[in-house]
Structure 1
Amino acid sequence: MTLDLFTALATFALVTVITPGPNNIMLMTSGTNFGFVRTIPHMLGIALGFPLMVVCVGLGVMQVFDLWPLSYTLLKTVSVIYLLYLAWKIANAVPPASAEADATGTPLTFLQSAAFQWVNPKAWSMALSAITLYAAGRDLAAVLWVGAVYVGVSAISTTSWTVLGQQLRRLLKRPARLRVFNRVMAALLVATLIPVLWPA
């Protein structure tokens, strides 16, 4: 891969992962509700799970959509339903500072976060675009380069959004404020579905 192509890929990857989307909204929410350290498994699940998904897409998953177009529609339906479920959970989360807080409330685990990539509409769009633009021949070396670049930029993005959420925690110490924040984040998570349901 030439330096020019690598620079273009790195820029594309950073822009796609750092802009608001389901992963980043959930990381910010987790950083606010649980803090940075407890969100680390969630961060790692994204930073490693998404690049693995990109590699899998480049090495053959795209062919499934080519051979069976209905599979993409089914995937989109499952993704929308799951994101709506996550939004409902976020909106109805009991603030940890509250006396009625559920002691079992936890952030996403590494495996949950990694698995979420497969039902994240933005992740699918990013993976398909990255492979189409930067590994069109789908040869192993090019696909691995794309995956490796996403590991690096995902580390930057996941850390940034979690720290942002952690800093917001100071402003949201009151349970009522945190509840409003969670509901706004749930609404934004639902809003990320608009480009999926009504593409331009």
Structure 2
Amino acid sequence: MASGARFGFRRSVPLIAGIAIGLATLAAAAAAGLAGLLLAIPSLQLIVTLTGSAYLAFLAWKISRSGPPSSPTNVHAPTSLIGGMALLWLNPKGWTMTLGAAASFAAVAGGPFRLAVFLGTVFALAATVSLILWCTAGLLLARTLRTNRHWRVLNTVLALLLIASIIPMWTG
């Protein structure tokens, strides 16, 4: 949403592609056996959750401190394809979702390779559609919100929601 608001749809395409590819490769890796590795080494799962939580908290802090898309503090370039992939690989919610899907569909997929292809494809398509909608919502917000105060309120709410999304990783 932020990329759509700041840079427009066309310049956000690398980010959208990176996130979709990141989710697809994460789902495929989970299906191919990463889930078993994380279950076998609980300390690795803790490290992933800690790292991901810290990264999401950092992103929330950046969101809360950002201004409107036209603000001088927002002159940086849009996130790249590799950056979008990293967003997913460092996101513990992405890990939880893909590992859960791999565990849920493992028995009906007919093997880890078929499961990896299936989950990778489904997650890539779903992410692409979802991200296009979020980017479009960002474009609409950029056209609707006019004052710095509007943007501060929106950014604070989005940052708090991101922080709140970390809580279920530690409680459930």
TM-score over 0.5 (shorter chain):
yes
Who is 1:47 aligned against?
20
Judge conservation of contact 2:67–2:74 (CA < 8 Å) in 1.
no
Distance 1:139 1:121 in 2: 22
Change (3 A) 1:135 1:35: same
The alpha-carbon deviation at position 127 of structure 1 amounts to 0.5
**1:57-76 → structure 2 map (5 Å cutoff):** 57-76=30-49
Who is 1:121 aligned against?
92
**Which amino acid in 1 is paired with 2:59?**
L
Change (3 A) 1:107 1:191: farther
Structure 1, gaps ≥5 residues long: 1-27
Who is 2:104 aligned against?
133
Q: Does 1:148 align with 2:125?
A: no
Distance 2:44 2:10 in 1: 37
Who is 2:77 aligned against?
106
The alpha-carbon deviation at position 103 of structure 1 amounts to 6.1
Distance 2:54 2:111 in 1: 31
Distance 1:197 1:138 in 2: 31
Identity %: 32
Judge conservation of contact 1:42–1:109 (CA < 8 Å) in 2.
yes
Distance 1:198 1:83 in 2: 16
**Which amino acid in 1 is paired with 2:70?**
A
Q: TM-score, normalised by structure 1?
A: 0.78
Who is 1:164 aligned against?
137
Who is 1:16 aligned against?
none
The alpha-carbon deviation at position 166 of structure 1 amounts to 1.0
Distance 1:93 1:73 in 2: 30
Distance 1:88 1:198 in 2: 22
Judge conservation of contact 2:35–2:102 (CA < 8 Å) in 1.
no
Q: 1:85 aligns with which of 37, 46, 58?
A: 58
Number of residue equivalences:
170
Who is 1:173 aligned against?
146
Moved over 4 A (4+): none
Judge conservation of contact 1:54–1:147 (CA < 8 Å) in 2.
yes
Judge conservation of contact 2:69–2:142 (CA < 8 Å) in 1.
no
Q: 1:97 aligns with which of 58, 67, 70?
A: 70
| Superposed CA offset, 1:68-126 (max 9, x none) | 1110011101111111101111111132324xx13642332211110121221211111
Distance 2:157 2:74 in 1: 23
Distance 1:179 1:34 in 2: 18
**1:193 match: secondary structure:** helix
Judge conservation of contact 1:87–1:190 (CA < 8 Å) in 2.
yes
Structure 2, gaps ≥5 residues long: none
Who is 1:188 aligned against?
161
Distance 2:94 2:25 in 1: 11
